[in-house]
Structure 1
């Protein structure tokens, strides 16, 4: 969920800037923003996240501008604060803070975190404001500065999607909508929108092919959502809500055995049980800590599944030999389709990560295919827009398994890109994350 800077308005801006700079520094050193934010004091976390998200969405331009202003990079703690401030001073029709306030508070933060750098920070930021138009124009002449993604990522998208690559990059830099999934066994999406309206919270229905999806006009903490603690609603992007109905299809037989092979954090696991509560569902994840999030989700929703902390590829260590009627493989991937929700991903990935992840995806497909019953269905999913993790992966699997059959399901399968043509009619921006889905059946 995106946060507005006002979320941390009760905290002094210089403290939020310092925390956000620490987060930016951590990401530049290869650490996950999600993990970094858990270390931020609770009262500062919403505001810190808002500033860190904004800084990471503009980091390419900020780095290009800093290289013009200070060709020799300052120490990491100073550089991170400087880049965060430059990103927040970037031209914006609705800036979060007045320029003079931001500069003043960045200098205040510098005095506390690196006192000797305060004059340097002040000089650089004030020069940036004086020459902003020229410096921004120069920064945007480089691919990284223009699109705020690494050059290799931009080139890969350009090759994969020659007509849409710029739209995808632009979508990645916009805050995403907050989308909910209404529990099908508790109420309808239309009724839930009315409940929200009664509380003064605007929302709209998405409709088919995601009939349980509701998009909020403005993001809100889950504690403000009526019935959240009681399991009436969950937070889940519309694209992710396509997985469960694709697995169930026209309906699995009562008591059908279903495998969710890479289940954490549990949204798709729960959705399967919302649509068909009588499933015998086994949920796996290689990370035992992440699997606890699946159990927490099931507990909140009053659902049950068999959870196992195992590597799905090592079926000899966990499979009981009884075939599954359906398998969902939401495979580990680059997360290149959900960059708008996780703006650090683009800066954490390296070019060779994609090939390494594609090998894991192929290993998972090959390991799980023998576990599927004849006539069963396997849904392969990734939250990626790269073809290597989507259509190319599917094509290679079908070559290795001549008996497997892929089925096109309009609106569900194939590459779903986070661009306007995948948006609901009348929506100002695409409500969908980038995903790939394939439905494969066994003879």
Structure 2
């Protein structure tokens, strides 16, 4: 890579990190930037995601090389150091001298002479030795989990109190893994085997995921540039999210005609329902115009005729929606702690206090969704988080107040190598 190209790439990485950190942009948004070659794009994604995946660990390592502990740093300089330490600790392909030189060049653009010298001095010290976070020793299990696995202390303590030390340690280890990319096969157009062959011809390697979800796991390649993607032969979705539709319809639904997906954007649950049961009439809704547009784009690309996008406030159903649906799926807005592999910035933005306001919204959505279900129908409540307040406790309270509903099944998927963390509950309206 030419020197000028390297500098441009580092500038883009720094700009993205600062935009995410300030809240101006989401991680998902900054990753949409396009590069001339896949190598640049790969390094860009690697560093941007990696810095947020390991931010607490990186800050601890940076502090260990500073003369004054807890020294407040100018934000761009702090981010340059995080970029550098991430490459030094977690990437083998970037040599020490390149990390130092490129970091100093960046510092010259955003800082003064003193901060340039500071960056140079810190990195020259740090790159003389290899840093191994897994070998660090701590005085408590909370501190160890928080710093080694970059989990905020408040969240670490909350999880230990809720689930115990062993569970929290396992959760934390998996939360910094690089997530798999899973593909839901559009079986209305192609079989799983034929999609594998089609992608292989375009240089994309996948493996079939065992079970009956009609899913593939990406092994190598950029799937978004393929003809198969443009033709709508698959939809990118984590295995855990795919489980919701299967969970909703398994053992049920032979007579189901109408389904409501309450908080449906970007359309994944409705797509799954449509592929499992092509004769099901599905309304896929969201309260945001922008999100409804995303639903529309996805169902058009997959060419699924039994899904209707709709702008709708899930807390305010209309009179004509009362007892109008056989199946209602509420994948509720939540704290999102089950998605930390995929969206690491969540752990720095969400606090335990946020759960209380989310629970209030979830209760309102659940109550409103229940009114849309006919007697004998199924209501599925799911979240991509692991807090009991947003799941077990909320469903228990709902059932205590609604004697016309019964819990018939529940499924918890841990955050691990295979899936995101998900919880789902199946309720039947008995009368």
- The normalised TM-score by structure 1 is 0.86
Q: Residue in 2 aligned with 1:370? A: 371
Matches within 5 A, 1:212-231: 212-224=214-226, 226-231=227-232
Matches within 5 A, 1:314-325: 314-316=316-318, 319-321=320-322, 323-325=324-326
CA contact (8 A) 2:286 2:311 kept: yes
CA contact (8 A) 1:37 1:45 kept: no
Which deviations, in whole Å up to 9, do the C-alpha atoms of 1:314-362 show, x marking residues without a partner? 114x854452110010100111111111111111112211222122111
2:146 matches 1:177: no
| Whole-Å separation in 1 of the counterparts to 2:218 and 2:168 | 27
Matches within 5 A, 1:7-406: 12-34=5-27, 37=30, 40=33, 42-43=35-36, 47-70=43-66, 71=69, 72-90=71-89, 92=90, 95-116=92-113, 117-130=115-128, 133=131, 142-143=143-144, 144-162=146-164, 163-208=166-211, 210-224=212-226, 226-250=227-251, 252=253, 256-304=257-305, 305-316=307-318, 319-321=320-322, 323-406=324-407
Q: CA deviation at 1:24?
A: 2.9
Which deviations, in whole Å up to 9, do the C-alpha atoms of 1:256-312 show, x marking residues without a partner? 111000011111112211222222211211121111110000110112433222320
Q: CA deviation at 1:140?
A: 6.5
| Whole-Å separation in 1 of the counterparts to 2:135 and 2:400 | 48
CA contact (8 A) 1:177 1:218 kept: no
Q: Residue in 2 aligned with 1:441? A: 428
CA contact (8 A) 2:323 2:371 kept: no
5+ long unaligned stretches in structure 2: none
CA contact (8 A) 1:262 1:330 kept: yes
| Whole-Å separation in 2 of the counterparts to 1:96 and 1:153 | 33
Q: Residue in 2 aligned with 1:414? A: 411
Q: Residue in 2 aligned with 1:424? A: none
Q: CA deviation at 1:133?
A: 4.3
Which deviations, in whole Å up to 9, do the C-alpha atoms of 1:2-57 show, x marking residues without a partner? xxxxxx99983333333323333333334453365168565566543321111111
Bigger drift between 387-396 and 377-386 goes to 387-396
Instruction: State the 4+ residue runs in structure 1 displaced beyond 4 angstroms.
Output: 8-11, 38-46, 131-141
Q: CA deviation at 1:129?
A: 2.2
SS in 2 for 1:271: helix
| Whole-Å separation in 2 of the counterparts to 1:42 and 1:156 | 41
Q: CA deviation at 1:161?
A: 2.6
CA contact (8 A) 2:385 2:421 kept: yes
Q: CA deviation at 1:215?
A: 0.8
Change (3 A) 1:268 1:49: same
5+ long unaligned stretches in structure 1: 1-7, 420-429
Q: CA deviation at 1:156?
A: 2.0
Change (3 A) 1:247 1:137: closer
Q: CA deviation at 1:200?
A: 4.5
Change (3 A) 1:414 1:248: closer
| Whole-Å separation in 2 of the counterparts to 1:336 and 1:298 | 27
Which deviations, in whole Å up to 9, do the C-alpha atoms of 1:52-81 show, x marking residues without a partner? 111111111111223333432221111111
Q: Residue in 2 aligned with 1:423? A: none
Change (3 A) 1:435 1:35: closer
